[in-house]
Amino acid sequence: MVNCCGLVSEKNQPVPLKSISVELQVRDHVASVSSCLQYVNEEERPLEAVFVFPLPADAAVCHFSARIGEQEIVAEVQDKQSARDQYDDAVSSGQQAFLLEESEESSDVFKLSVGCLSPGQKASITIVYIIELSVQADDALRFCLPAVLNPRYTPAVSAAGVPEVSSASVIPYTLSLSVEVRSSDRISKLESSCPLDPLEFLDAQHTHAKVNLSSGHRFDKDVELFLYYENSHHPSAVVEAGASVAESGSLMGDPALMISLYPEFPADVMSSLASQGEFIFVVDRSGSMGCKMHHGNDAQMRIESARDTLLLLLKSLPMGCYFNIYGFGSRFESFFPQSVVYSEDTMEEALKRVKSMRADMGGTEILQPLKHIYSQPCYPDHPRQLFIFTDGEVWNTKEVLDLVKSHVYSHRCFSFGIGEGASTALITGMAREGSGHAQFITGTDRMQPKVMQSLRFALQPAVDNISVDWSVPEGVTVDMLSPSINTLFQGQRALIYAQIKGQSSGQTEGSVTLKYRLKDQPVTNQLQFTLKPAEDTGLTIHRLAARSVIRSLELQERAGGADMENIRRRIVELSVQAGVSSAHTAFIGVNKDSKQTVKGPLLQRRVPVARMMGAFGGPGMNKCVGMAPRMMRRSPMPCDIQSNSMGIECDSVSDDCYEAEAEPQKDPLLQLISLQKAAGCWELNASLAAVFGKTEDQVTNQKAVQVDGSVWATVLALIWLYAFKSDQQVEWQFVAMKSASWIRSQKPNGLSQCVCDGNALLGCQVTEDMLGI
């Protein structure tokens, strides 16, 4: 039975939240999100209510307050154990208490214990968090309020782990959303997946604007906002004044500076691709990969889409590179003992195994396959590129991220979250720690174009040799707070935080010089910034800077060493000083003014959250809607996969997951690509002719006598791709580049006539220049 998500009665009936209101304040590339939830205890007895909500991996919770009746409690950050003790003491003595803390296993999960509520009593919870805004492929900044929560998975070896919450999408909350944007760049536009009121500019320069979500929204789908600036690739430096009440010389008392670096990759750089590398594809084969990609009638199963994607990837790799494929669940396996040279034979062997891949390997445990991969030596002059596909959560996110980060100088990690259950912390964290790129495939998104985009990132030149040099007047120093940046890929943006210390008697400005290298070409940018910022700009940049330092310290702590206690002390001090959460602190608030002592037996209930704590760059977080929580053992349903040899039960599956796959319709594009040879050519045969809707004789008879059969077949395939599949070019771009390169290497005679004959046969008008031959 699926656990009800929400404030529930003794009969497991949900008590829905009454309303959610969200205020979003954007400052250049970062945002502050304030959410207020209101609910009521409709039971006849007092209860201790608990709800769990996910946050994006890099969010910093900075405010937590609660109002019960006329009493308001504003919580403060304390050492976690001290906060827990206070909470327990308050609840046991009948006082209302509120506790907010990070999950031990995943930084994107927070547990809110709202303490003791009397029958009929209303409560209002306000949570504020701040976050960096991620950049989309079209240079937009994305904000999302997903409407679902994700169930958590805990491997059999750990009975503790992350709390579970099932889908909240059926609970009819009401939602109001207001947005205010302030920027150093002109605001171009703000778009949304939901109806908005007209955008209102508040200044003549179009750097200050506000907008509201149109009334009537019922939180029945994701609310997405896309913010566009006019000069998105121009680096910027924004200074924020410190808090007047904070000690001078402290992080919160001094001005904080944020630099945005979002390099532009010119067309000539984008067109140049590497021909070497080791490509390792790691595919989730847990039970939930048997679920559909979405709820439409034409939806593929996730594992089927993964197989099609692997076909594209294998056909797109350059000759002479190395590759391997891993499948993982509660156990893992690899196609080859170690990565092998890419050739016709190894490609065909891998494709045979891809066709037999099923969602039959139990749960979602990724740490062991990663350890195995990293134990394999790298090949000289073949940089390792790791592609990870998963639709779920793991209980040991921090351990996984530490492992990826410890190998950052030997590989890049590209991660793909499939469906609404993929962990924001896991997917974005692996890409961040592995200097790669993260993608999420949700709703009706196709997996193939997003994966091929990341393959292009892996093959393209990257920005490296990044340096930051400061020029400030005497008496002023600048301390870097962000870890050093090694590499930036096309589409990635870095935010660099720094603390400005000291005072200057005369000058009021400083400058910073950003230097980097792109395809062996040096690039230099110099930015001016004020040393006397306005006092009313808030503390968003300060708190995100503190969060950056805290995360770096937490990584040091998990790495182990002799100075553990001192690191933990620094984390707690900075967390308390900045008012942001950490793994060692929690927000605690106790209503000591309550006149009434709560009497009667105490019930514990889960409080629903419709994932209002969305993020820039993270999707909704549910696996298959209606799935049973995976920490609960249950008898296998007809569509369940049985326990594997390790005795670990697989993911539970919903009605969208099937025991057997129906025979899929053959996509002509995939059919054509499947016929291509590793070198890039096609052979002239009946299967290829069928893709064109012709017989083998029809195709053969149109070939000029002096033209080789493979050259003719390859020219036809290219013409067909450019003429009939131009809208999917991102998926076959590398296939076409290999083909064009192969044709050029053959130096065929009569190529122009060959293209003309091919156009005549297929009824097209594609030029040689378009084909790249």
511 domain-assigned = no
Find the mean pLDDT for residues 330-334.
Answer: 95
Answer whether residue 515 shows pLDDT above 50: yes
Which has more pLDDT, 484 or 559?
484
Q: Are residues 213 and 277 in the same domain?
A: no
Find the mean pLDDT for residues 95-105.
Answer: 71
pLDDT (tens digit per residue) in 385-394: 999 999 887 8
Contact 65, 72 (CB under 8 A): yes
Q: Are residues 338 and 283 in the same domain?
A: yes
721 domain-assigned = yes
Q: Are residues 279 and 368 in the same domain?
A: yes
Q: Rounded to an integer, what distance in angstroms lies between the CA atom of residue 214 and that of residue 228? A: 20
Find the mean pLDDT for residues 507-530.
Answer: 91
178 domain-assigned = yes
Q: Are residues 97 and 219 in the same domain?
A: yes
Nearest of 16, 29, 56 to residue 170 by alpha carbon: 16
Which has more pLDDT, 706 or 198?
198
Largest CA distance in the chain: 99
Q: Which of the residue ranges 313-317, 323-327, 402-406, 751-755 would you say has the lowest mean pLDDT?
A: 402-406
Q: Rounded to an integer, what distance in angstroms lies between the CA atom of residue 25 and that of residue 14? A: 32
> What pLDDT was estimated at residue 340?
96
Answer whether residue 29 shows pLDDT above 60: yes
Find the mean pLDDT for residues 190-216.
Answer: 92
Answer whether residue 464 shows pLDDT above 80: no
Q: Are residues 217 and 331 in the same domain?
A: no
687 domain-assigned = yes
Q: Which of the residue ranges 76-90, 363-377, 712-726 would you say has the lowest mean pLDDT?
A: 76-90
Which has more pLDDT, 756 or 44?
756
pLDDT (tens digit per residue) in 581-610: 888 988 888 776 664 554 555 444 444 444
Q: Are residues 597 and 684 in the same domain?
A: no
729 domain-assigned = yes
Q: Are residues 222 and 279 in the same domain?
A: no
Q: Which of the residue ranges 48-57, 147-156, 559-568 would you say has the lowest mean pLDDT?
A: 147-156
Find the mean pLDDT for residues 642-649.
Answer: 30
> What pLDDT was estimated at residue 95?
78
Answer whether residue 505 shows pLDDT above 50: yes
738 domain-assigned = yes
Residue 233's pLDDT band, with cuts at 50, 70 and 90, is very high
> What pLDDT was estimated at residue 107?
58
Q: Are residues 214 and 324 in the same domain?
A: no
> Percentage of the chain with pLDDT > 90?
39
Q: Are residues 227 and 279 in the same domain?
A: no
pLDDT (tens digit per residue) in 262-292: 998 887 777 667 667 899 999 999 998 998 8
Nearest of 22, 408, 27, 14 to residue 184 by alpha carbon: 27
**Summary mean pLDDT of the chain:** 79
499 domain-assigned = no
Last residue of a domain, one of 459, 489, 509: 459
> What pLDDT was estimated at residue 17?
66
The CATH code of the domain that includes 33 is 2.60.40.1730
Q: Are residues 52 and 129 in the same domain?
A: yes
pTM of the model as a whole: 0.68
Q: Are residues 341 and 426 in the same domain?
A: yes
Contact 70, 143 (CB under 8 A): no
Q: How far is CA 62 from CA 26, 131, 516, 580, 680, in A?
A: 16, 11, 34, 5, 54
Total domains, the chain? 3
The CATH code of the domain that includes 409 is 3.40.50.410
Q: Are residues 442 and 387 in the same domain?
A: yes
Residue 625's pLDDT band, with cuts at 50, 70 and 90, is very low
Last residue of a domain, one of 459, 488, 508: 459
Tell me the residue range of the domain where 392 lies: 273-459
> What pLDDT was estimated at residue 661?
46
pLDDT (tens digit per residue) in 444-453: 888 888 898 8
Residue 163's pLDDT band, with cuts at 50, 70 and 90, is very low
Q: How far is CA 711 from CA 688, 714, 724, 733, 765, in A?
A: 13, 5, 20, 19, 19
Answer whether residue 495 shows pLDDT above 70: yes
> What pLDDT was estimated at residue 614?
37
> What pLDDT was estimated at residue 344?
94
> What pLDDT was estimated at residue 497?
95
Q: How far is CA 510 from CA 239, 502, 506, in A?
A: 11, 13, 12
567 domain-assigned = no
Last residue of a domain, one of 438, 459, 480: 459
Which has more pLDDT, 101 or 719?
719
